[in-house]
Amino acid sequence: HAAEAQRTDLMTITRHALNEQGRHPESRGDFTILLSHIVLGCKFVASAVNKAGLAKLIGLAGETNIQGEEQKKLDVLSNEVFVKALVSSGRTCVLVSEENEEAIFVDGPLRGKYCVCFDPLDGSSNIDCGVSIGTIFGIYMIKDKDNATLEDVLQPGTNMIAAGYCMYGSSCTLVLSTGNGVNGFTLDPSLGEFILTHPNIKIPSKGKIYSVNEGNARNWDAPTAKFVEKCKFPQDGSSPKSLRYIGSMVADVHRTLLYGGIFLYPADKKSLNGKLRVLYEVFPMSFLMEQAGGQSFTGKQRALELVPTEIHQRSPIFLGSYGDVEEIKSLYASES
Ligand code: AHG
Ligand code: MN
Ligand code: MN
Ligand code: MN
């Protein structure tokens, strides 16, 4: 009978957000409205990704973005959808997107109290071969709604009030934290609703997987090289770790969150700040990892304590199981 009750007691992401809202008596549902517009964007991208090949959505858009990357059609399309959904929500003030060189300032009647930093399509290199890709977002509260400035999105990650990602894989999974733990929701295409499937996700305290692009090994610094060496040739008699690297941060982080282990995109001689962008890749994933009992380190400090000075700034990142990140931290500590 309980199973029957469970089947009809649908915990949608909107209902879950409303329950969470109960913890903030002062809130008037603005966050829930913002979230519903982010969810709309995710549903659109999910349907576009599922038929990318059929809808001629694979391939290049013929432009390059501020990152110097050739933009894929789906990069451009998903960015437009998210910008329009976020602006039309009437709950945003400043938007930072990987695909826009400058921050977007929402003016007039549609201005709201949230700043959203997002990567509309993460893992673009994997679009054309059908490997999992995703969307990543982090949310700040505006400081003063009547004069939004760039300072509102150059805040440390510790000031984020929520973060999440949507992974477009064999199933479409949205993982979200509003600062009270991490929950996973799976899109039920027959309902068009994200249903709670992974309540209160906690990352294992140690894992057996390391996730890094070994192709950059020649350029790593000593602590990173030593850490990866220990993963492959453990000195303490334990068995070597497995290497899993998909090349989409969302997919690599989702596996790390559920199975444990460590994901790293270290600095290297070519790029001293690594590759991943602070506002819409490093901060949201670090927020989620901490909320799930893991941690996230830049090689110098706790990732969330970084204070960005530029909206597309990059940072090295080591995130995942608490115990695994402790190891990399001690290697960097002994080096400095
Ligand atoms: P994006 O597609 O949004 O530009 O991000 C790609 C990132 C991230 O998804 C992934 O972890 C990393 O690029 C992979 O980089 P390498 O191919 O250099 O390993
Ligand atoms: Mn890109
Ligand atoms: Mn990305
Ligand atoms: Mn991207």
Summarised one tens digit per residue, pLDDT across range 128-138 is: 899 999 999 99
Q: How confident is the model over 209-239, as pLDDT tens digits?
A: 999 999 999 999 999 999 999 999 999 999 9
- Best mutation site among 122, 218, 220, 278 for ligand 1 pocket (most ligand atoms within 8 Å of CB): 122
- Best mutation site among 49, 60, 275, 282 for ligand 1 pocket (most ligand atoms within 8 Å of CB): 275
- pLDDT range class, residue 101, cuts 50, 70, 90: very high
Query: pTM for this structure?
Result: 0.96
- Contact between residue 306 and residue 279 where contact means Cβ atoms under 8 Å apart: no
User: Residue 248 CA: which ligand is closest?
Assistant: 1
Find out whether the beta carbon of 156 lies less than 6 Å from any atom of ligand 1. no
Share of the chain above pLDDT 70, in %: 96
- pLDDT range class, residue 336, cuts 50, 70, 90: confident
Average pLDDT, the chain: 94
Long-range (24+ apart) CB contacts under 8 A made by 139-146 are: 139/34, 139/114, 139/115, 139/163, 140/114, 140/115, 141/113, 141/114, 141/115, 142/93, 142/94, 142/113, 142/114, 142/115, 145/93, 145/111, 145/112, 145/113
**Model ipTM?**
0.99
pLDDT at position 1 is: 65
Q: What is the mean pLDDT of residues 179-189?
A: 96
98 CA distance to ligand 4 middle (Å): 6
247 CA distance to ligand 1 middle (Å): 6
125 CA distance to ligand 2 middle (Å): 8
Q: What is the mean pLDDT of residues 243-247?
A: 98
Q: How confident is the model over 29-63, as pLDDT tens digits?
A: 899 999 999 999 999 999 998 886 666 777 777 78
pLDDT at position 59 is: 73
Find out whether the beta carbon of 213 lies less than 6 Å from any atom of ligand 1. yes
118 CA distance to ligand 4 middle (Å): 9
